Amino acid sequence: MTYFKKANWVLERLGAENTVIVDTRYLLTEPETGRKSYEEAHIPGAYYADLSHDLSGPKRPNGEGGRHPLPEPEVLAAFLGRIGIGNHTTVVAYDNQGGAMASRLRWLLQWMGHEGQVYVLEGGFTAWQAVDYPVSSEEPDAVEGVIFEPALQDEILVSRSYVKESIGKDGIVIIDSREAPRYRGEVEPMDPAAGHIPGAINHFWVESRHVDGVWKSPEEQAERFTGLSKDDEIIVYCGSGVTATPNFFALQEAGFKNVKLYAGSWSDWSSDSGNPVVVGDEEKE
C-alpha cells in the first residue's frame, strides 16, 4: 500500500475526527516562501509546519548536524501537540516539492514513535488547486490538551561516525539521494565540498515518482533498487536529511526492512574537512 493519497481522498476527510492536515511547503533557496504561500491559501483546517523552525533544530556554528539538524524530541513533541497530533492521530501532509517536505514530517513522526497513519497528498497543493477544491487563508487555532509522548525509534537513524565506520563493510549499502551532478561533485550549490561519501551509490529521490509526479508502486520501487539484498542494511542520505526521506519510504515499500537515515547528510559530512570525499561515479550494486 502506498502512503500517497489523491486529492479526492483528502477532500473526503476534511474535518474528520482525530485527523490533522499539515502544510509543509518550503523552498530551500527561499525559506520564507512556504509560510507566505500558506498564509495566502491552504487546505482548510491545515496547520503549517516550517522545515527550518518546526521540523528542524537550530543550526550549530560548526555545521555539525547539517543544514537541518533534527529537532529536540521534546520540542518537536510540544509542536505536534499544539497542532493536534497525538501518538495515534491520522496525519495528512502536503507540500509542493514532490512530497519531500511532507516525507520529512512523516519520517520524524516514525522516529518519534507515532503509531497512527501518515499520508502524503499526491501532487501536493498544486493538485488540490487543479481540481478547484476549497482553500482558506485562515490559520486554525492551537490545540489544547493534546499530548505527544515521544518513544524514539533510534534504529532508523545513524550518525556521522556510524556512517564513517560503515564505509566498505559487507552488508551495508549507502545511498546518495541527490541528483547525479551533485553526487558526482560536478556542482555543489549549498555545502562546503562537492562529491559524495566513499562507496555511496546514487539513486536520485525524484526517481521514486513517475514523470507525471505519481508515486511508483511497491513493485516499481523494488525495480529501482534491483541488485540490493533485502538482508542489507541501507543508509540513505541527501543534502540535509530531507529529500532522502522519500527514498527511505520507497525502500520500505519495496520490502527492505533495515533502512536508516543519515539525518545530517552531506551538509554534516562536508562540514568536517577531514572526512573523505569522492567525485565521479561509483558502480551500482
- Model pLDDT for residues 164-193, shown as the tens digit of each residue: 999 999 999 999 999 999 999 999 999 999
| Residue of 278, 271, 253 whose CA lies nearest to 63 | 271
pTM given for the model: 0.97
Query: How far apart are the C-alpha atoms of 182 and 235, rounded to whole Å?
Result: 18
Mark the ranges of the chain whose per-residue pLDDT is less than 50.
Answer: 285
Amino acid found at 233: E
246: number of CA atoms within 13 Å, CB side? 27
Q: What region does 227 belong to: left with phi over 0, alpha with psi -120 to 50, or beta?
A: left
Exactly one of 92, 172, 238, 242 is catalytic; name it: 238
pLDDT at 62: 86
Amino acid found at 46: A
- Torsion on CA atoms 53, 17, 121, 36, rounded to nearest 10: -40
Domain 154-269 class? alpha beta
pLDDT at 283: 66
Cβ 48 vs Cβ 42: under 8 Å: yes
Enumerate the domain spans of the chain: 4-130, 154-269
238 flagged as catalytic: yes
Amino acid found at 80: L
Query: How far apart are the C-alpha atoms of 215 and 122, rounded to whole Å?
Result: 7
Beta-carbon neighbour count of residue 255 at 10 Å? 12
Q: How do residues 88-98 score in pLDDT, each as one tens digit?
A: 999 999 999 99
- Torsion on CA atoms 235, 241, 243, 248, rounded to nearest 10: 30
pLDDT at 2: 75
CA distances from 23 to 220, 268, 284 (A): 28, 27, 36
Q: What is the DSSP string of the chain?
A: --SEE-HHHHHTTTT-TTEEEEE---BTTBTTHHHHHHHH-BSTT-EE--TTTTSS-PPPTT-TT-SSPPPPHHHHHHHHHHTT--TT-EEEEE-SSTTHHHHHHHHHHHHTT--S-EEEETTHHHHHHHTT---B-PPPPPPSS--------GGGEE-HHHHHHHTT-TTEEEEE-S-HHHHTTS--SSSSS-SB-TT-EE--GGGGB-TTSPBPPHHHHHHHTTT--TTSEEEEE-SSSSTHHHHHHHHHHTT-S-EEEESSHHHHHTTSTTS--B-S-----
CATH superfamily of 4-130: Rhodanese-like domain (3.40.250.10)
pLDDT at 282: 84
Same topology, domains 4-130 and 154-269? Answer is yes
